[in-house]
Amino acid sequence: MASPLRIIFAGTPAFAAESLRALLHTHHEVVGVYTQPDRPVGRGRELKPSPVKELALARKLPIFQPLSLRDSGAQAELAELDADLMVVAAYGLILPKTVLETPRLGCINVHGSLLPRWRGAAPIQRAILTGDKETGITIMQMDVGLDTGAMIYKMSCPISEHDTSASLHDRLAFLGGDALLTVLEAIDNDEPFPPIAQDEALATYASKLTKEEGNIHWKNSALDITRAVRAFNAWPVAYTQVQGQIVRVWQAHIVTGEKTTAPAGMIIRADKQGLWIAAGDGGIVALDNLQLPNGKALRHVDILNSRKELFQIGTTLGESA
């Protein structure tokens, strides 16, 4: 076995924490963990450490939380760690050229898509929203572009028709750790994978999500609506307007074998068997799990039991209701 590498890890959310956890099961030395500064959360706005920081604290690893890596002082501090390699996963800060060139072996990134498809901030959600049948993990050599670096290793993952972004995220997080270990093992064996340049003609961009995207447009097809519900679970969560109230939709499905001529957004059934809404293409969307303001997510039957007056047949959902 080759000598242990001195590795800097940079990441912030739970997705990244799984890669760090995998790295900690190797013989390599994690000489520093970079993560974004603690953020205020909740009504009390208390500062909360990132999942990566929580893991680093538990393992007593050196932690660095600069506001930027463009600062010369932060760059000098990183250089002093004398790392062989920097592993990055959903860090959230731009790594300038100086930082990319500081470790002896450069910087590699654990990315949640099969590049060059879905470069950018929200690859998991965009894959579901678009109806992709497959996604995966790409380990790439980082350069100054946005997820444009040469690809080192890929692992594929199917997307089922029941996957939400939350469920797919968790599978990809573990897959990312596995892919990282495969790459490090190849380096250990002095047989590193040859980098392969991305085909720019196949590149797509996964733009950052906004809360506004969660607003359900009932004039869309039933398929597009249910994809949006799945893609935005667990954030920002799809929502619609019901008699002036915002209702979040956590789960929904297409009613197979049924069509309607009712206007888009109209409630056409509201009973134990289903809460059915007309879609723009004549399809029908059944709302399975809903959340009223200041309440918790409940099955549609429980919502109807408590607030049936909101969901009368003939009521139209949405901003134009």
Tens-digit pLDDT profile for residues 166-213: 999 999 999 999 999 999 999 999 999 999 999 999 999 999 999 999
CA triple 240-244-249, angle to 5 deg: 20
Residues 77, 83, 88, CA angle at the centre, nearest 5°? 90
Q: What is the CATH number of domain 211-311?
A: 3.10.25.10
Q: Print burial letters for 5-25: b (CB count within 10 Å at least 16), e (below 16).
A: bbbbbbbbbbbbbbbbbbbee
Distances in Å between the Cα of 57 and the Cα atoms of 62, 157, 281, 286 are: 8, 31, 52, 44
How far, in Å, CA of 50 to CA of 41, rounded?
Answer: 11
Q: Where in the chain is the domain with CATH 3.40.50.170?
A: 6-206
Q: Is omega for the bond preceding 116 within 30 degrees of 0, making it cis?
A: yes
Per-residue pLDDT reduced to its tens digit, 78-136: 999 999 999 999 999 999 999 999 999 999 999 999 999 999 999 999 999 999 999 99
pTM of the model: 0.94
Residue 321 in this model has a pLDDT that exceeds 80: no
Residues belonging to the chain: 321
Name the token pair of 269: 């059934």
Please state, for a pLDDT cut of 70, what percent of the chain lies above it: 99
Of 203, 118, 113, 199, which Cα lies nearest the Cα of 154? 113
Q: CB count, 10 Å around CB of 263? A: 13
Q: How far apart are CA 165 and CA 234, in angstroms?
A: 7
Boundaries of CATH 3.10.25.10 in the chain?
211-311
Q: Is the pLDDT of residue 320 over 70?
A: no
CATH code at 6-206 = 3.40.50.170
In the block, residue with structure tokens 């909360």? 48
Q: Is 147 exposed, middle or buried (0-12, 13-18, 19+ CB in 10 A)?
A: buried
* Predicted pLDDT at 1: 63
